[in-house]
Amino acid sequence: ILNVEQSPQSLHVQEGDSTNFTCSFPSSNFYALHWYRWETAKSPEALFVMTLNGDEKKKGRISATLNTKEGYSYLYIKGSQPEDSATYLCASPAWGTDKLIFGTGTRLQVFP
Amino acid sequence: NAGVTQTPKFQVLKTGQSMTLQCAQDMNHEYMSWYRQDPGMGLRLIHYSVGAGITDQGEVPNGYNVSRSTTEDFPLRLLSAAPSQTSVYFCASSFRATSSSPLHFGNGTRLTVT
């Protein structure tokens, strides 16, 4: 089964700080990379789906980049706000299957 | 828009009991899946389906059965509940298989097995 890893496990930042975290996946046989945002007591919500090396996606203050050759994706949050506090998950389908495998997530807490 | 609907929201079972977690989507999505969420383990895939009549195993399928008789419904059956199946279960669907379509999640079912 595909190994999707995320770092750091958790992150505490002050309001206004910019932050970023990493998702690593096997670079061979890459298919696609998903990012989700998961607030406490809610369900995960999709942020981005990226498929091409060099892809960059942006939604408001959140952006993501993709490097399929070296097997990583970065998620950036510019000017973090308390409402950005959530767990951020990445996921990638195992090659040749429709199994979407998730990393264990990065838990972000933004303090006012 | 209803989206992905899971029932029940909470359930307590005794060891050895069976039950079915229901999942329905009204978005005409081809792909449906079940995940379980455990502390420190993230979301782990139990079973998935790429269309009516087609199902396959995920990462942790043991102790669970699924069927997909219609595009809309994807129930998850626990045949003989065990304490290790205490978890939060999420159903999720996407327009197509997962390569380029984001998942839409239900609100989850919190299951406790005593």
Listed range (A39-48, B3-12, B22-31, B89-98) with the worst mean pLDDT: B89-98
Q: Does residue B30 have a pLDDT over 80?
A: yes
Segment B44-58, tens digit of pLDDT? 999 999 999 999 999
Segment A11-41, tens digit of pLDDT? 999 999 999 999 999 888 788 999 999 999 8
Out of A46, A93, A98, the one facing B102 most closely (by C-beta) is: A46
CA separation for the pair A91, A38 (Å, rounded): 13
CA-based nearest residue to A94, from A5, A24, A2, A26: A2
Q: Does residue A104 have a pLDDT over 80?
A: yes
pLDDT given for residue A2 in this prediction:
65
Q: Does residue A49 have a pLDDT over 80?
A: yes
pLDDT given for residue B42 in this prediction:
87
Segment B64-94, tens digit of pLDDT? 999 999 999 999 999 999 999 999 999 999 9
**Cis ω before A8 (30° cut-off from 0):** yes
Reading the block at residue B32, the tokens are: 């449906």
Q: Mean pLDDT of all residues in chain B?
A: 94
CB burial of residue B29 (10 Å; 0-12, 13-18, 19+): buried
Query: Which of helix, strand or coil describes residue B25?
Result: strand
Out of B31, B35, B92, the one facing A98 most closely (by C-beta) is: B31
Least Cα separation, residue B89 to chain A (angstroms) = 11
Q: Within an 8 Å CB–CB cutoff, is residue A41 touching chain B?
A: no
- Mean of pLDDT values over B85-105: 91
Strands B10-13 and B109-113: parallel
